[in-house]
Amino acid sequence: MTASESQPAPTLKAWLAGPMEAPAGTVIERVLNLEDVVHVAVMPDVHLATDVCVGTVMATRRLVYPAAVGGDIGCGMLAIAFDAQAHAVRNPVHAGAILRAMGERIPTQRRNRARLAAMPDLLATSSLSHPSLCAALQSHGRLQLGTLGGGNHFVELQADEEDRLWLMIHSGSRNIGQVIKAFHMAGATIGSGSMRALDTHTDAGQAYLHDQEWARRFADANRLAMAAEVIEILGELLNIRAVESAAISCDHNHVAAEQHLGQLLLIHRKGTMPADAGLPGVVPGSMGTQSFHVEGKGCEASLRSSAHGAGRLLSRHAARERFARSDLRGQMEGVWFDTRLADAMREESPRAYKDIRAVMRAQGELVKITRTLRPVLVYKGK
């Protein structure tokens, strides 16, 4: 398929919290010139990543680019309120007990086969598009359902402005999403610049759309499984109950067919959150700074999207080089975490991320802040 010469040139709109690094600008320019691209929106948490920058929204008419979604399909946020004040978690005895229980009941990588998670009916009754993907699901799916992963994924207990206790979880589809991306990228037949695409008017394109929707459901079930463990832990240790009617759920790595700019378009979001008018969302800071609950404002120029977090300021390698264990402890003052993991957590140091307040100011046109939260306790993997 070739783009029609009569189609207008693609457009670009950016909301930036500061100067963009030159390599990221080069990547965004390359994305803007891909075949079939209509519009690109850049969020204030933008930072360099493989193929497509995190913090990029891209609209196409017909082609789907798996690299513009990434491998952690369905990665997103879950927030749940509790019927208690956060001061109970600040108690050192309670904090230690909670961290130990999370370490025992929320694996960071894979489950022990003796404690496999039950696959929800919504996932168990549907299948992926190819036998090799179904085999990967059997070998990885139940082992990884209810597991956190590493990197910037976390389970965090937070306090809002009234000191009410909240849970926030950031995680995705684990290895399943990576397998789905790799499988479909290998079968992509359309090359545009340095990126491969699938035509959604073909069986191959529809298969990718089907499988990435399945991965989004898996990622959502993964977060819910971890939340259930946290709810049980707090109930057992502190007699605290969740108020699940106050839950907020959103994901920020996906492609979806949506109406924009007067036409039906394929909206690729890589590290960007849907922000339709009135839609609740969650924008985390770093593990030592504020996070926010928000409502979208439905800005069309951003393809009704917003930042998904603070965005990296330093690469993981640069953060490890710059920050020692003592730096991390200083940046995490007042926040409980497993100090035995301090060395591994240096790459996630709060100062490795952009100033979340600057990010929120830059996207004032995109979302409205409804709640401000601060971290009390953070559980992360190695």
Helix 92-105 / helix 203-238 crossing angle, nearest 10 deg: 140
Q: Which of 39, 260, 268, 308 is catalytic?
A: 308
Q: Are 16 and 44 in contact (CB under 8 A)?
A: yes
Best CA proximity match to 168, nearest among 274, 298, 309, 49:
309
Q: What distance in Å separates the CA atoms of residue 368 and residue 230, rounded to the nearest whole number?
A: 28
The three-class DSSP label of residue 206 is: helix
The neighbour count for residue 370, using CB atoms within 10 Å, is: 12
**Whether 308 is catalytic:** yes
Kindly tell me the burial class for residue 310, based on how many C-beta atoms sit within 10 Å of its own C-beta (0-12, 13-18, 19 or more): buried
Give the residue among 252, 295, 251 at the shortest CA–CA distance from 275: 295
DSSP per-residue codes, 272-326: EEE--TT-EEEE---TTS-EEEEEE---GGGTSEEE-SS-BSS-HHHHHHH--HH
Q: Which residues are identified as catalytic?
A: 308
